[in-house]
Amino acid sequence: MAQVTVTDPARDYLAQLIEKQDVEGMGVRIFVTQPGTKNAETCLAYCPPNEVVPTDEQVDLDKFILYLDHNSVPFLEEAYVDYSKDQMGGQLTIKAPNAKVPKIDDDAPLPDRVNYILASEINPNLAAHGGEVSLVEIVDESVAVLRFGGGCQGCSAVSLTLKQGVESTLKERVPEITAVRDVTDHSYTENAYYQ
């Protein structure tokens, strides 16, 4: 079963929403649309009893049942649902670090582990500037050859991002990586975040 954490405030908030639906046995389904892609989205939806799917995993949260969509389970590992009150009422937050790439084992092939760290840790940060980075290949058994795109391509701060962000994170999280090489053509600056 996937490890999905629903905090007490989130559980209580969702229970209040369910109660307003006035449907006996109403639950909540969590699922990922387009799992395993860069467009993956983690979603919550009401799940009335007549829409329960027999293959879904069920988590009893005391106040309601949380249904984990069977096809989404590998992508929901370590998902976290929280609710925090604010001046506008509150905000429900869903974090699913494995939605774009399912969690992999420590003994997975080196390129898979590098791609996992790129998708789950590095690219979400680069996305704030419209950027992304992808693995081209591993050379000399320990050098990750990368290509930057979007707002990172041609960006004047890319060398800083590469050394202090990408390379340090990859070397820390995937110890077999000893260096990172950038093969991006940075002469194209049309989409660059910093020019």
> Which residues contribute to the annotated binding site for [4Fe-4S] cluster?
152, 155
The Cα 47–Cα 30 span in angstroms is: 9
The Cα 115–Cα 98 span in angstroms is: 12
The Cα 172–Cα 166 span in angstroms is: 10
Looking at the chain, which runs of residues are DSSP E strands?
A: 4-6, 27-33, 41-47, 57-60, 65-68, 79-84, 91-95, 131-139, 143-150, 179-182
Extract the annotated binding site: 152, 155
